[in-house]
Amino acid sequence: MTIQWFPGHMAKAKREVEEKLKLVDFVIELVDARVPVSSQNPMLHDVLGQKEKMIVLMKKDLADPSLTNDWLTYFQERDVPALALNAHEANDIQKLVKEAKALGQHKLERLIKKGIKPRPIRAMILGIPNVGKSTVINRLAKKRIAKTGDKPGVTKQQQWIKVKKDFELLDTPGILWPKFEDQEIGKKLAAIGTIKDQILPMDDIAVYVLQYFRKHYSYRLEERYGNQFESEDIASWFDYIGKKRGCIGPGGVVDYEKTADVIIRDLRAGHLGKVTFDRPYES
């Protein structure tokens, strides 16, 4: 099954990004630190072309710290400026401003040498839905400008935001690509809430989460649910968690749908600990 999800406002946003690129000096692409590659939009790579960009790994407080450091090294080895950020930490916001201004300054110096008058550094900020873009913008502007929410698709139009006197940001709606050829990428994005829950069967996503944790973070499952994951029988995992968490339907049968919901909510609320689903240097 190919996952397809491309609302009309996203198609419009893609066209507007293409039109406005010439107005900015570089691009700030926000990705989720839990899925630094899976949350990059391959469609935008083609749109951006040779435009300089920096990558910001958002929600670092939810990601595995050791893997976040590995990802920063990974991007830096490829000459892509990158930093990890918690949008609620003032020091991280200031670091973003400093890094962005340094990146933009090189472009301004070239323009000034050509006789163009100095102007504010201009950057376009991009990211897939629910990556935390609106929260960052409000922090940068030090006031509520962009709408925020825990559901994808909050921002619907572009807007310019001033960050102090010498830095301007062009906000854009979150853009997903037309379809996910790689089913695992779709599952990762669904697990962290990038894709609306109605798009994919959440029991399939819950199975993916349990299997991933069993492979990479088995002790977390034991801490949260108990040591009941030695069996290869996935149904037995659901039965155990469902009974323990009271997900019982008529006749005392475990309700798998409710159990899946519990697992996904535990993941998103951080009850399963810090996790990164993309792992650098692994094929």
In a domain, 274, yes or no: no
pLDDT of amino acid 156:
44
In a domain, 190, yes or no: no
In a domain, 230, yes or no: yes
Do 174 and 223 have their domain in common? no
pTM for this predicted structure: 0.85
| Number of structural domains in the chain | 2
Closest by CA position to 236, among listed 262, 256, 258:
256
Do 52 and 88 have their domain in common? yes
Which two three-digit tokens encode residue 239? 């039965």
Do 151 and 227 have their domain in common? no
In a domain, 282, yes or no: no
In a domain, 273, yes or no: no
Do 128 and 36 have their domain in common? yes
End-to-end CA distance of the chain: 23
CB contact set of 121 (below 8 Å; sequence gap of 6+): 25, 100, 101, 104, 105, 107, 108, 166, 167, 168
Do 155 and 67 have their domain in common? yes
Do 171 and 99 have their domain in common? yes
pLDDT of amino acid 263:
97
The domain containing residue 232 runs over which residues? 201-268
pLDDT bin (cut points 50, 70, 90) of residue 186 is confident
Percent of the chain with pLDDT strictly greater than 90: 45
**Could you tell me which residue, 119 or 153, shows the higher pLDDT?**
119
Q: What share of the chain is helix, strand, coil (3-state, %, to 5)?
A: 45, 15, 40
Look up residue 132 and give its amino acid. Answer: G
- Mean of pLDDT over the chain: 84
Do 116 and 224 have their domain in common? no
Do 17 and 149 have their domain in common? yes
pLDDT bin (cut points 50, 70, 90) of residue 272 is very high
Closest by CA position to 197, among listed 95, 112, 267, 100:
267
Length of the chain: 283
Do 125 and 170 have their domain in common? yes
Give residue for tokens 């198609």.
Answer: 11
pLDDT bin (cut points 50, 70, 90) of residue 145 is low
pLDDT of amino acid 28:
92
In a domain, 16, yes or no: yes
Cα–chain-centroid distance for residue 22?
A: 25
pLDDT bin (cut points 50, 70, 90) of residue 150 is very low
In a domain, 277, yes or no: no
pLDDT of residue 256 exceeding 60: yes
pLDDT bin (cut points 50, 70, 90) of residue 13 is low
pLDDT of amino acid 11:
64
pLDDT of amino acid 155:
43
Do 66 and 123 have their domain in common? yes
pLDDT bin (cut points 50, 70, 90) of residue 274 is very high
**CATH, residue 12:** 3.40.50.300
Do 107 and 218 have their domain in common? no
**CATH, residue 251:** 1.10.1580.10
Do 64 and 159 have their domain in common? yes
